[in-house]
Amino acid sequence: MKQTISVLVENRAGVLNRITGLFSRRAFNIESLAVGVTDDPTVSRITIIVDSGNSVVEQVEKQLNKLIEVIKVRTLNEHSLIGRELILIKVNANNKTRQDIMTICNICGAKVDDITPTSMTLELSATKEKVDTFESLMRPFSILEVVRTGVIAIQKGSGKI
Amino acid sequence: MNGAQALIESLRRENVTHMFGYAGATICPAVDALAAVPEIGYTLVRTEQNAGHMASGYARVSGKVGVCMVTSGPGATNLLTGIATAYMDSIPMVAITGQVPSNLLGRDIFQEVDITGAAAPFTKHSYLVKDANDIPRIVKESFHIASTGRPGPVLIDIPIDVQEQELKAFEYPEEVRIRGYRPSVKGNDLQIKRVVKAIAEAKQPLICAGGGVWLADAREELRTLIERYDIPMVKTMMGISLMPSDHPLNMGMIGAHGNRCANKALVKSDLLIMVGCRAADRTILSPDEIQRRMSIVHIDVDPAEIGKNMQAAVPLVGNIKVILNQLLAQELSVPDTTEWKAMLRELRHEEVTRVFPRRDGSVFPGTVLRELGRKLDDDAVVCVDVGQNQIFACKYLPQKNGRFLTTGGLGTMGYSLPAAVGVKTALPDRQTIVVCGDGSFQMEMNELAAVRCAGHDIKIVLFRNRTLGLVHQIQTQEPYHGPFGVSLDGSPDFAAIAAAYGIPTLTLSDEGRLSGTLDEFLQTPGPCLLLCEVDPDVKTTD
């Protein structure tokens, strides 16, 4: 079963090495791994997809937690990810701000994944620059959480690398 | 003040009073700074691996963090086994390595190796220092990380130019702030209640204690709990000296090489309370079977140990000393264990009184160790190597109130003598014994120099069977075709080797002379070697 583990780590050289080293040493299989800085520039978020049972995922979480530079580990509900860079952004939203947020979403091509009386969760898949712009436009509404996957890319046409 | 001086000053602030090491070009600034601080002692090892083992022995008996310091490249790679050994045994240790100049990092220059990368799988944490101004904070963090939570080795790799770099100002931090590191201390109250309930419902409870109890300095709390509620206990290899052998509730060591009584107790109990042990493969051979048959309470400071090898019905995470005190504060209702204890005691008695086989012209290790243990001081420290000598010592060396130090996790041959040097450095007046074989001794005998240099009174019991006994034993069983590549032909005259370091030797090949020879051995002033002749076909199961 595919599970998405979200890990907050110190944004420092060598941290990713420790994470991937841990996965290989403990014989955990990584399906995918993506790193991006969060809204706090000293913290990176690593999103790891593992294809394992619950007991393995529990061990993965515990072993990740033992790394000194790991701040928080959480296994998220499954979301499908597509190419390019993906941003999932949760902002505070109320009756006054919801329309402004929608306008920006329409211009940027972002869509609304979830809505509650106090928040909205938005999704945008685009180039890194467009994602950056979208994130900065959302900042005035008070960002609750940002998840970015990092970029993946594929060559156009019939040729392959 | 330069980086090297800041390093040594930081160590002084951490109350370091002794270091073990080996100098080399890239660590010269730090060695030079150390020379100017006479309150920190220094032992020069003969190979870097032993700096790690000495720091381990030192840490285990002093309760302090062991410190070792070596040069870059081969110095650092030689130290790796020492670090890995400490990691597997959860020993608080800070290892410092020199490194090539930072502007040349990554160019494969002379004596360069990526040691933080190489050591990553078996260090609790590591630092590659890029700026001398970070040294005080890094040292402070390293000692904190090494000694709290589940202890372990921390590596600090310092390029030579950083050691030479002038600091803006030296300021030693008062406290540590690491947001990703908050080890649990107190046990969850709800879980404590569940433990109390589990004990009340059990009929044949059993406590299994391991090295974690020593690491948390919780021996007294454990004994109080066991004695107050009359619960029988077994131990893992790392917890072997937690209880005297003749204690009526002590049922011995569990595991593949453990005592029969202890293993019987394990399978017959209906509630297993694991305290500071990790259910490793050599300890609990069939975890699936065990967890199906009984309910398990697992108390450990490291949440990752719970459920790693065996699922626990009641996990309880925190400092073992704190948790045991929490349990002691509860009103426990404990079942009547009279019958349960009586059954176990009968098995235990059979084992403790069993008669060992005798062979003319040689001695049986179990016989020697049983007699040796009786003659040792109450608080003696025995450092035991790896192989048949280790298994015999685990099974048959009577424990009193001292320490039994061996490397249960990594099983590193050549551990015992350097560990004993570390013990003696911390506790010069403590009776200290080394138990090893002729294989392991040849991996460590170069450290007789450290024994001689400091005049350490270390008594070495060497079982000579002229083969790598445990491998020999394995090779005589299916599916192998007999001993090969294990004969220790070409070994030196050990008495002559010892004499070359000014150490006298006694030999023992007749069990009739056992008691008198042991008395003479233990009463010899200063270091002494006891060379015991053992038949190469002796098995640990004999």
The tokens 């996957």 sit on which residue? Answer: A149
Report yes or no on A115 lying in a domain: yes
Give the number of domains in chain A: 2
Report yes or no on A54 lying in a domain: yes
CA distance A51 to chain B (A): 18
Judge contact between B6 and B156, C-beta under 8 A.
Answer: no
- Interchain proximity A17–B120, CB inside 8 Å: yes
Residue partners of A68: CB distance under 8 A and separation at least 6: B124, B125, B145, B178, B180, B181
Last residue of a domain, one of A76, A107, A131: A76
Report yes or no on A47 lying in a domain: yes
CA distance A3 to chain B (A): 19
Q: pLDDT tens-digit profile of B426-476?
A: 999 999 999 999 999 999 999 999 999 999 999 999 999 999 999 999 999
Q: How far is CA B109 from the centre of its chain?
A: 36
- Tell me the mean pLDDT in the region B462-491: 95
d(CA A5, CA B417): 46
pLDDT class of B295 with cuts at 50, 70, 90: confident
Q: Could you tell me the residue range of the domain that residue A62 belongs to? A: 2-76
Last residue of a domain, one of A56, A76, A96: A76
Question: Is the same domain home to A40 and A72?
Answer: yes
How would you write B51-71 as a 3-class SS string? HHHHHHHHHHHHCCCEEEEEC
CA distance B146 to chain A (A): 11
Question: Is the same domain home to A94 and A64?
Answer: no
Report yes or no on A124 lying in a domain: yes
More confident residue, B461 or A30: B461
Neighbours of B14 (CB within 10 A): 20
The residue among B102, B141, B144, B179 with the most chain A CBs within 10 A of its CB, best to mutate, is: B179
Neighbours of B349 (CB within 10 A): 11
Judge contact between A34 and A46, C-beta under 8 A.
Answer: yes
> Which pLDDT does position A154 carry in this prediction?
45
- The answer, yes or no, to whether residue B251 has pLDDT greater than 70, is yes
Report yes or no on A160 lying in a domain: no
Q: pLDDT tens-digit profile of B185-234?
A: 999 999 999 999 999 899 999 999 999 999 999 999 999 999 988 899 99
Last residue of a domain, one of A44, A76, A108: A76
Question: Is the same domain home to A53 and A106?
Answer: no
> Which pLDDT does position B85 carry in this prediction?
98
Is A14 touching B (CB cutoff 8 A)?
yes
Question: Is the same domain home to A102 and A132?
Answer: yes
> Which pLDDT does position A96 carry in this prediction?
92
- Interchain proximity B145–A68, CB inside 8 Å: yes
d(CA B297, CA B262): 18
- Tell me the mean pLDDT in the region A69-92: 76
A2-10 vs A43-51, strand pairing mode? antiparallel
Q: Which residue in chain B is spatially nearest to A22 when comparing CA positions?
A: B121
> Which pLDDT does position B394 carry in this prediction?
94
Query: Hey, what domains does chain B have and what are their CATH numbers?
Result: 3-164 (3.40.50.970), 189-350 (3.40.50.1220), 355-533 (3.40.50.970)
Is A71 touching B (CB cutoff 8 A)?
yes
pLDDT class of A83 with cuts at 50, 70, 90: very low
Question: Is the same domain home to A38 and A66?
Answer: yes
Is A131 touching B (CB cutoff 8 A)?
no
> Which pLDDT does position A81 carry in this prediction?
45
- The answer, yes or no, to whether residue B244 has pLDDT greater than 50, is yes
- Interchain proximity B180–A69, CB inside 8 Å: yes
The residue among A66, A67, A69 with the most chain B CBs within 10 A of its CB, best to mutate, is: A66
The CATH number of residue A10's host domain is 3.30.70.260
Question: Is the same domain home to A67 and A102?
Answer: no
Contact residues on chain B for A45, CB-CB shorter than 8 A: none
> Which pLDDT does position A84 carry in this prediction?
65
> Which pLDDT does position A78 carry in this prediction?
57
- The answer, yes or no, to whether residue A159 has pLDDT greater than 50, is no
- The answer, yes or no, to whether residue A161 has pLDDT greater than 50, is no
- Interchain proximity B308–A9, CB inside 8 Å: no
Q: pLDDT tens-digit profile of B302-347?
A: 999 888 887 888 999 999 999 999 999 998 887 888 888 888 888 8
More confident residue, B528 or A39: B528
Question: Is the same domain home to A72 and A90?
Answer: no
Judge contact between B488 and B439, C-beta under 8 A.
Answer: yes
The residue among A42, A68, A71 with the most chain B CBs within 10 A of its CB, best to mutate, is: A68
Chain B positions touching chain A (beta carbons under 8 Å): 116-117, 120-121, 124-125, 128, 145, 178-181, 302-304, 307-308, 311
> Which pLDDT does position A157 carry in this prediction?
56
More confident residue, B173 or A31: B173
- Tell me the mean pLDDT in the region B79-106: 97
> Which pLDDT does position B525 carry in this prediction?
96
At A159, list the tokens.
Answer: 């040729």
d(CA B272, CA B279): 11
- Interchain proximity B120–A55, CB inside 8 Å: no
Q: Nearest by CB to A71, from B179, B302, B307: name it.
A: B179
> Which pLDDT does position A6 carry in this prediction?
80
d(CA B20, CA B68): 5
The lowest-confidence range among B139-143, B269-273, B308-312, B463-467 is B308-312
Q: Which residue in chain B is spatially nearest to A24 when comparing CA positions?
A: B121
Question: Is the same domain home to A64 and A106?
Answer: no
Q: pLDDT tens-digit profile of A96-136?
A: 999 999 999 999 999 999 999 999 999 999 877 889 999 99
Question: Is the same domain home to A98 and A39?
Answer: no
The CATH number of residue A124's host domain is 3.30.70.1150
Is A135 touching B (CB cutoff 8 A)?
no
- The answer, yes or no, to whether residue A153 has pLDDT greater than 60, is no
Contact residues on chain B for A58, CB-CB shorter than 8 A: 307
Question: Is the same domain home to A106 and A129?
Answer: yes
Neighbours of B518 (CB within 10 A): 21
d(CA B382, CA B423): 10
> Which pLDDT does position A77 carry in this prediction?
57
- H-run or E-run covering A76: strand A70-76
Question: Is the same domain home to A90 and A68?
Answer: no
Is there a cis peptide before residue B479, judged by omega within 30 degrees of 0?
yes
Neighbours of B222 (CB within 10 A): 23
Q: Which long-range contacts (CB under 8 A, 24 or more apart) does B293-297 make?
A: B293/B267, B294/B269, B294/B270, B295/B198, B295/B202, B295/B270, B295/B271, B296/B271, B296/B272, B297/B195, B297/B198, B297/B271, B297/B272, B297/B273
- Interchain proximity A10–B308, CB inside 8 Å: no
- Asked if the ipTM is above 0.90, the reply is no
The tokens 């029988």 sit on which residue? Answer: B232
> Which pLDDT does position B11 carry in this prediction?
98
DSSP character at residue A55: H
More confident residue, B470 or B285: B470
Contact residues on chain A for B128, CB-CB shorter than 8 A: 14
> Which pLDDT does position B326 carry in this prediction?
96
Report yes or no on A13 lying in a domain: yes
Q: pLDDT tens-digit profile of A43-70?
A: 988 877 788 877 788 888 999 999 999 9
Average pLDDT, chain B: 94
Report yes or no on A153 lying in a domain: no
- Tell me the mean pLDDT in the region B514-522: 97
Question: Is the same domain home to A96 and A69?
Answer: no
Residue type at B120?
A
At B344, list the tokens.
Answer: 């176990």
Nearest residue to B146 (alpha-carbon basis) of B103, B176, B109: B176
